[in-house]
Amino acid sequence: MLFLRVVPPEVVDGVVSGLYKVTGSVVRDVASGRGVAFLQETSVVQSLLNSALSGVSSTLQNGFSPLGAIALIQNQQIKSRLVEVQSSLALLQNLQIGTLAVSGLGLGVSIAGFAMMLKRLKGIEAQLGAIEAKIDRVTTDRRSDDIRMIFADVGTQLDIVDTLSARSNRVSSAEAAEHALATSSGRLEAHFQQKSEAMQIGPMTSEDMDMLWSLAAAIRLCHEAGFRALYSIDELEAAKQLAERRAQRFLNLSQGLTPDSLARLCAQSASDSISFAEARRLALPQAEVLVHGLRDSVASISSQSELAQNLIENQIPGPAYLEELAGEKVEPLLMLAPRP
């Protein structure tokens, strides 16, 4: 390997002991805040996940995890299985299995192939369909149609991004795909904002939280694919700047959401303080997974900006980085050391 290397035990030990902390894909020294490594997932992660997820609910295996109780309970169990198979995965202490649906582990640049990304997209779409079937039919019809059209556009762009290396007009295709994905992302953000605001003015249900989660997953998928398109044409400076801006936009989208307020809104129809407390506490774990997942997405996208900056400083071309990454067949996680 030219740029990436196996994660050394001292980094894993440092995270486990609390000396280091993983923020997004950056391992930081807690005392100084200095980045000590950039983590990058490889395609091996997916096969490990498939193995660890065997025997659990089909919604997880099919690539989308709603905020259901099964996912919450099995989170720790699945993480333990992963660490048993590969010790470096102990780095992912804060991993919520539910976030796998958003974009794999979300470490570094996404290297998931078209089939996997499309599977995620279909999973999200199916989840949205199931949620909307449970809620008000009249008000959701128009919105559903728009979201389905956006998803169809995203599916087309994923196809283009996945075949960039085989195209003669790679640069223009990548730029166009990135632009179209950004447009789709913006439209999905508008849906997210609308849904989020509507939820704050009335009693809400766990379906509402699932809806937000699904929209966030789709926005994140657009970002991952667009980011990879820019890497493939070596537009690292653009990738860096876009990651900064999108992290801020994702942060702004999720800023007004807190687990407590979402859980309180779920308990709004309670008739007394006892049933209020029960309903709030019942909804809180789901709300925490949703909001923490959104914040983790912000950290992950933000750290992609640092990764791009690091590649620029180390004069590592984007396509070469992707090529080396695609060649890894053993390690699920690799790391890039920051420039001294």
Partner 1 sequence: MKFQAIAAELEFLAWRDAQLAAISLQLEDAFPDLLDDLSAQVERAGRVDLVRSRLTLKSSTEAIIQRWGVKQLNSASSRAEAELEDAILQLPGGLKLDSDIWEQGSNVLPAIAGVGLIAGSVAAIPTVISFATVSTSFLAFWGAATISWPLFALGATGIGVATFLGSKSLKSVEARARKSLCNRVHREADRQGFGIGGKPGARCILSDIQAAVVKAGQNRIQGVS
Residue 242 contacts partner 1 per CB under 8 A = no
Residue 271 contacts partner 1 per CB under 8 A = yes
Q: Smallest distance, Å, CB 178 to partner 1? A: 20
In the set 201, 315, 329, 330, which binds partner 1 (CB under 8 A)? 201
In the set 4, 78, 289, 291, which binds partner 1 (CB under 8 A)? 291
Contact 122, 55 (CB under 8 A): no
CA 273 – CA 1 distance, rounded (Å): 61
Give the phi and the psi of residue 329 in degrees, each rounded to 5.
-120, 0
Binding piece for partner 1, criterion CB under 8 A, among 96-104, 120-128, 245-253, 324-332: 245-253
Residue 320 contacts partner 1 per CB under 8 A = no
In the set 90, 238, 251, 337, which binds partner 1 (CB under 8 A)? 251
In the set 159, 260, 313, 323, which binds partner 1 (CB under 8 A)? 260
Q: Record the tokens describing residue 70, joined without a space.
A: 């099964």
Q: Record the tokens describing residue 250, joined without a space.
A: 């994702």
CB atoms within 10 A of CB 62: 16
CA 228 – CA 4 distance, rounded (Å): 17
In the set 51, 200, 314, 326, which binds partner 1 (CB under 8 A)? 200
- The torsion region of residue 203 among left (phi > 0), alpha (psi -120 to 50) and beta comes to beta
Name every residue whose Cβ is closer than 8 Å to that of residue 162 and which is 6 or more positions away in sequence: 113, 114, 117
In the set 10, 159, 197, 237, which binds partner 1 (CB under 8 A)? 197
Angle in degrees, 0-180, between the axes of helices 273-313 and 236-255, rounded to the nearest 10: 170
Contact 40, 4 (CB under 8 A): yes
Residue 276 contacts partner 1 per CB under 8 A = yes
Sign (positive/negative) of CA torsion 311, 313, 314, 315? positive
In the set 54, 273, 315, 340, which binds partner 1 (CB under 8 A)? 273
- Of the pair 136, 272, the CB lying nearest partner 1 is at 272
- Of the pair 48, 270, the CB lying nearest partner 1 is at 270
- Of the pair 38, 64, the CB lying nearest partner 1 is at 38
Contact 263, 284 (CB under 8 A): yes
CA 243 – CA 142 distance, rounded (Å): 31
How many chain residues are in contact with partner 1, going by CB under 8 A?
Answer: 44
**77 alpha-carbon distance from chain centroid:** 21
- Of the pair 220, 280, the CB lying nearest partner 1 is at 280
Name every residue whose Cβ is closer than 8 Å to that of residue 260 and which is 6 or more positions away in sequence: 284, 287
Q: Is 334 helix (H, G, I), strand (E, B) or coil?
A: strand
Binding piece for partner 1, criterion CB under 8 A, among 95-103, 153-161, 196-204, 317-325: 196-204
Q: Which of residues 30-49 bind partner 1 (CB under 8 A)?
A: 30-34
Binding piece for partner 1, criterion CB under 8 A, among 58-66, 92-100, 225-233, 242-250: 242-250
In the set 299, 311, 334, 335, which binds partner 1 (CB under 8 A)? 299
Residue numbers at the binding site for partner 1 (CB under 8 A): 23, 28-34, 197, 200-203, 244, 247-248, 251-252, 255-256, 258-261, 263-265, 268, 270-273, 276-277, 280, 284, 291, 295, 298-299, 302-303, 305-306
